[in-house]
């Protein structure tokens, strides 16, 4: 059995090493193409392994650039992108390889198992969506498009990170931080020229703190304006990306990028996606209007965009007697992590053991995952915010479970990255409940990848899973962060050791769907905007006009004209969610449906939870998620459970 890879990277020699590796790969591909009698075993298997080994080499760079960003990582990453994109595009367009895969599929389909057939089917589809069957001039243009797209996406992400890091707002009057949680005041506090001052930034923990608790509306508006006007230069990048995506779609025989995107998803038609989103909007709107009225009643004025979090928090306290800040001492980061592990042990019988190893940052840790005393995977956690880390939270896979060409087993590994409040020598990292939900969400992705028992790496773990199903396991797990029996496993006061009282849990559960219809409308706004934006070519002011027209239906508070949300929408312009942001809601139907079945059976005695481990988590991407879901539930998904989960009537 192979060991886990050591996390190491040589930035000085990375580009040379990358070029050498790609040259060797190209030589190996030539040799494989000269094999006379090509089979799955002697052609497809080595091709898969070569691709996996390249991932092992490249992932540490992309990971480091995201979590420990520096001038050097930026420079090396930017230089490597066109090299790796050119290589992967040429590979995905190689007509000879495409024909070999088709021939092997025709010849061996009956003898191969379903995992191997799925590898062939997805590869054949991938070759066709890369234009392998097209003429040389078209293939060359597609390659140019892919290189330019990857450069623009990287620039979009870097611009956003730079703009976020560049901004700070200094408060000198102590009155302006009254009402903020003491931990946030401490984080913001510094001394300069003998005077105590408070620094707020656009980093999530700092920004959210003032927007939620800051009494000074002018400061809230200043921070809000800085946040929604970040990276104006990204507007030009958006135009470039939209043109390139549309051109690529046309070259591949699709009317638009939305159609191209759906080729690899559970949803089939553009109308199906928009119909799904619009029906959710219709079901949510009336309740969202009632919610807004409640917040405005407590504010005693019509709300501005920068008011909603602040007055929403006041209403939440008033309605549920719930003060978020009182919960944080019960959600000390390490305790939450250990409690989440304990929950997974009870639910699935898996255990975690801390590994002592030096990683990229002193705040990063790793754990070995065991199933019935057998080592199965390794998990890396990097949970605290810092300047050199891009915002948000994500899971990224490193190694993938498979049986290698030499018949040895390769174990899986994955990273979970978050931006929780930083700990220090004098104060621990105390999480909001939202942070706990985020951690459970990313853990859902991680165990989906790490617990796979599939033996072909291209359809093992999260590989090969349809994009609009990939959020199913993450959302399924995050729902348990509101369950009383789960909370009691880890919600203990970091000073006294007292378990969170029942009345606090009850308030938290009751408040779960606070302003949920408004939240639903906001997510639908993003989803509809993304999907329509990729259905034809929008340029310049047309992008804003489209967003405004959608907001006319979804936004109950008119956004100020300076709000350029799209310039920070990295999910679709720097991530993989272009024409796929709807996937969050699509997958939430599956997750809500499965979650209620487990809860109704009794969480720790649930037969469905055990089946979920065997069918969904072990199954990876070796079958379509629609097939796996039917196997799990014995029926098609029930959309009503999504509304039930969100408390929408």
The tokens for 522 are: 């906001």
Burial 5-40 (b: 16+ CB within 10 A, else e): bebebeeeebeeebeebbeebeeebeebeeeeebeb
Round to whole Å and give the CA distance between 276 and 548: 21
| CA 433 to mean position of chain CA atoms | 18
CB 516 within 8 A of CB 563: no
Helix (H, G, I), strand (E, B) or coil at 353: strand
DSSP state of 190: E
506/350 Cα distance (integer angstroms): 29
Please tell me the distance from the alpha carbon of residue 164 to that of residue 595, in angstroms, as a whole number.
36
Active site residue 498: no
Give the whole-angstrom CA distance, residue 560 versus residue 307: 12
Please tell me the distance from the alpha carbon of residue 397 to that of residue 458, in angstroms, as a whole number: 12
Distance of alpha carbon 247 from alpha carbon 243, whole angstroms: 6
Query: What whole-number distance in Å separates Cα of residue 592 and Cα of residue 597?
Result: 9
**Are 348 and 613 within 8 A, CB to CB?**
yes
Which of 270, 384, 442, 471 is an active site residue?
Answer: 442
Specify the pairing of strand 402-403 against strand 364-371. unpaired
Residue reference for tokens 């449906």: 593
Strand partners, 81: none
What is the token pair recorded at 21?
A: 């590796």
Structure tokens that stand for 587 in this block: 């997958």
Gap between the Cα atoms of 376 and 416, Å rounded? 17
C-alpha distances in Å from residue 488, one per residue of 194, 335, 493, 504, 513 = 45, 11, 11, 11, 20
Q: How far is CA 559 from the centre of its chain?
A: 26
CA distance 612 to 242: 39
Maximum CA pair distance of the chain?
80
Which amino acids are annotated catalytic?
Answer: 442
């Amino acid at each position: 059995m192979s060991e886990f890879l050591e996390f190491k990277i040589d930035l000085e020699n990375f580009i040379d090493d990358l070029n050498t590796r790609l040259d060797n790969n190209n030589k190996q591909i030539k040799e494989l193409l000269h094999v006379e009698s090509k089979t799955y075993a002697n052609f497809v298997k080595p091709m898969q392994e070569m691709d996996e080994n390249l991932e092992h080499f490249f992932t540490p760079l992309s990971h480091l650039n995201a979590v420990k960003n520096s001038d050097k990582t930026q420079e090396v990453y930017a230089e490597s992108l066109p090299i790796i994109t050119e290589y992967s595009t040429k590979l995905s367009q190689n007509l000879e390889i495409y024909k070999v895969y088709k021939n092997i599929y025709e010849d061996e389909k009956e003898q191969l198992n379903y995992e191997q057939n799925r590898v062939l089917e997805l590869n054949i589809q991938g070759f066709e969506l890369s234009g392998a069957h097209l003429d040389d001039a078209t293939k060359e243009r597609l390659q140019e498009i892919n290189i330019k797209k990857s450069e623009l996406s990287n620039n979009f992400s870097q611009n956003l990170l730079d703009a976020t890091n560049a901004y700070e707002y200094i408060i000198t009057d102590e009155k302006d931080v009254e009402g903020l949680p003491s931990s946030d005041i401490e984080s913001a506090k510094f001394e300069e020229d003998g005077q105590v001052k408070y620094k707020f930034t656009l980093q999530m923990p700092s920004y959210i703190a003032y927007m939620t608790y800051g009494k000074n509306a002018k400061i809230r508006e200043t921070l809000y304006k800085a946040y929604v006007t970040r990276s104006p230069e990204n507007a030009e990048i958006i135009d470039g990306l939209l043109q390139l995506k549309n051109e690529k779609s046309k070259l591949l025989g699709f009317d638009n990028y939305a159609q191209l995107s759906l080729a690899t998803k559970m949803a089939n038609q553009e109308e199906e996606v928009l119909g799904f989103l619009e029906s959710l909007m219709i079901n949510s709107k009336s309740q969202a209007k009632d919610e807004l009225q409640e917040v405005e009643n407590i504010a005693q004025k019509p709300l501005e965009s920068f008011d909603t979090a602040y007055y929403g928090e006041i209403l939440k306290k008033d309605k549920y007697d719930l003060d978020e800040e009182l919960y944080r001492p019960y959600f000390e980061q390490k305790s939450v992590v250990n409690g989440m592990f304990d929950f997974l042990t009870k639910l699935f019988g898996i255990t975690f053991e801390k590994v002592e190893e030096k990683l990229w940052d002193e705040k990063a840790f790793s754990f070995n995952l065991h199933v019935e005393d057998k080592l199965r995977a390794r998990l890396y956690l990097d949970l605290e915010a810092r300047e050199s880390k891009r915002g948000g939270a994500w899971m990224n896979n490193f190694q993938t479970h498979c049986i290698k060409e030499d018949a040895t087993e390769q174990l899986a590994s994955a990273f979970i990255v978050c931006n929780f409040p930083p700990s220090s020598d004098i104060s621990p990292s105390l999480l909001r409940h939202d942070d706990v939900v985020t951690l459970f969400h990313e853990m859902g992705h991680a165990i989906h990848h790490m617990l796979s028992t599939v033996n072909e790496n291209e359809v093992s773990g999260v590989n090969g899973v349809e994009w609009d199903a990939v959020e199913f396991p993450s959302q399924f797990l995050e729902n348990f962060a509101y369950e009383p029996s789960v909370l009691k496993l880890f919600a203990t006061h970091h000073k006294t050791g007292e378990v969170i009282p029942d009345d606090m849990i009850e308030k938290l559960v009751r408040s779960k769907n606070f302003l949920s219809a408004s939240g639903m409308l906001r997510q639908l706004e993003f989803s509809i905007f993304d999907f329509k934006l990729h259905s034809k070519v929008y340029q310049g002011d047309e992008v804003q006009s489209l967003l405004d027209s959608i907001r006319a239906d979804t936004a109950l508070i008119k956004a100020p004209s300076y709000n350029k949300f799209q310039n920070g929408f990295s999910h679709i312009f720097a991530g993989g969610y272009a024409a796929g942001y709807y996937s969050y809601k699509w997958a939430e139907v599956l997750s809500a449906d499965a979650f209620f079945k487990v809860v109704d059976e009794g969480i720790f005695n649930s037969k469905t939870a055990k089946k979920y481990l065997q069918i969904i988590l072990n199954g990876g991407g070796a079958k379509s998620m629609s097939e796996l879901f039917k196997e799990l539930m014995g029926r098609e998904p029930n959309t009503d459970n999504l509304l039930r989960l969100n408390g929408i009537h």
